[in-house]
Amino acid sequence: MYPGGEKRFIIINRLSIVVLFLVILAGGVVRSTGSGMGCPDWPKCFNRIIPPTDISQLPDGYQKHYVEGRVEKNLRFAKMVEFFGYRELADKIRHDESILIHEEFNAAKTWTEYLNRLVGVVTGFCLLFTAIFSLTYRKFKPSIVWWSVLNLFVVILQAWLGSIVVSTNLTPWIITVHMLLALVIVAISIYTFYLASTLRNWDILANRHSGVLKALAVVCLLVTVVQVVYGTEVREAIDHLDDQNLSRSSWIANLPDAYLVHRVLAYIALGLTVIMFFLVKNKFSSLTLQSRFAWIVLILVGIQMLSGIVLARFDVPAAAQTTHLVVASLFFGAQYYLMLLMTKLKR
């Protein structure tokens, strides 16, 4: 059905999507285990390609060296933030004394962060080859080329932002931007896969107008994005409570209003997903991609709600934190693809 060049692109594009979700999983493990500063420098780890396994392997005076490097990088970052008009935020970055505190070496945390970076490198190469293979569409579907190349630049931006996350000693709002940018990369990869796979296989698309369903799918997606934003605020608050050495059993009770908004949005997302599911089942055959992804979205929202209940009722266990993050990302991706599948075939 597909020529060789197009088949290669679709395979590497699909692989990129899978690896992107693995990156989000690895990032979730890093954050839930507190391993974000396991490697104090970037892109190497303790100035080594292969990180150390014992404190005796660390370079002399590494604490002072890496703290000075972070300070220098943060001053440059603050200057850039100030250039865009955020003077107060720039001053906060300049005077953040938390970057002067060096975390003690922990081999498990170091290797957890290192493996996260390795998965990130694999992702970069996957998106690089996706951009290269997209050139096969340059004459008859140039939008695939443009989006693939743009995604490569976005992942480079994401890598730079990852270095800022390290240099600012895990400043919460930067971690939030880091997460949202990851969803942007996922969305672009799904979109290029959709464009390539529907170029010759028209059976994937809707065979009649689905205006109401597509509008509802857009609303569902927007609710999910807003919920993710509030979810990251909740996670930032939890990190702050953890820094205060409060017991896990008191975290939920001390969360800000963002937690309540996040919960309300979760129930709204659940209700919209159920409505969307029944509308899709009534309109599309059970053998269509639309119907299958409606099932996937419904299952994912159920798992997401369950993991949220576990977080609230069982003192925020680390495994549930990672599950909640990864399933939210999968939920976003499935919703987005289902929205694209509502596009009517244009002959």
pLDDT in tens, 266-309: 999 999 999 999 999 888 888 888 889 999 999 999 999 999 99
First to last CA, the chain: 18
**Segment 195-211 mean pLDDT:** 72
Going 148 to 324 to 114 to 38, the CA torsion angle's sign is: positive
The per-residue pLDDT for range 49-59, each reduced to its tens digit, is 888 888 888 77
Whether 132 and 213 map to the same domain: the answer is no
CATH number of the domain where residue 247 is located:
1.20.120
Are 132 and 270 contained in the same domain? no
DSSP letter (8 states) at residue 256: -
Q: Which amino acid is at 92?
A: K
CA gyration radius, the chain: 22
Looking at residue 47, the DSSP 8-state letter turns out to be: T
Strand-pairing partners, residue 48, are 45
Residues 179 and 270 in one domain: no
| The domain boundary residue, chosen from 177, 200, 223 | 200
Residue 203 confidence (pLDDT) above 70: no
Q: Which residues contact 192 (CB under 8 A, 6 or more apart)?
A: 13, 130, 134, 144, 147, 148, 151
Considering the domain architecture, whether residues 258 and 276 belong to the same structural domain is answered as yes
Residues facing 68 on adjacent strands: none
Q: Which domain-ending residue is among 146, 179, 200?
A: 200
Of the ranges 243-247, 276-280, 315-319, the best mean pLDDT one: 276-280
Note whether 193 and 292 are same-domain residues: no
Average pLDDT over residues 116-124: 88
* pLDDT, tens digit, 9 for 90 and up, residues 320-339: 888 998 999 999 999 999 99
pLDDT of residue 347: 47
CA atoms within 13 A on the CB side of 182: 30
The pLDDT > 90 percentage for the chain reads 35
Split at pLDDT 50, 70, 90, the class of 247 is confident
pLDDT at 34: 73
**211 shares a domain with 126:** no
Q: What burial class does residue 219 get, using C-beta atoms within 10 Å of its C-beta: 0-12 exposed, 13-18 middle, 19+ buried?
A: middle
Do 93 and 157 belong to one domain?
A: yes
Span 212-221, pLDDT tens digits: 888 899 999 9
Answer yes or no: is pLDDT of 176 > 80: no
Residues 42 and 168 grouped into a single domain: yes
Across 32-36, 235-239, 315-319, the highest mean pLDDT is recorded for: 315-319
Q: What is the pLDDT of residue 303?
A: 95
Per the structure, the count of domains in the chain is 2
Q: What tokens were used for 289?
A: 């991609």
Reported pTM: 0.86
Asked if residue 293 and residue 185 are part of one domain, the reply reads no
In this structure, the answer to whether residues 250 and 184 fall within a common structural domain is no
Q: What's the sign of the alpha-carbon dihedral 259, 264, 268, 271?
A: positive
Q: Which residues pair with 206 in a beta bridge?
A: 344
CB 185 within 8 Å of CB 147:
no
Residue that is last in its domain, among 151, 176, 200: 200
**Where is pLDDT greater, at 256 or 77?**
256
| Residues 4 and 148 grouped into a single domain | yes
Helices 257-283 and 289-313 meet at what angle, rounded to 10?
A: 160
Residue 318 shares a structural domain with residue 190: no
pLDDT number for residue 8: 93
| Beta carbons of 189 and 231 less than 8 angstroms apart | no
| Contact status, residue 266 vs residue 301, Cβ threshold 8 Å | no
Q: Which domain holds residue 311?
A: 204-347
Beta bridge partners of 344: 206
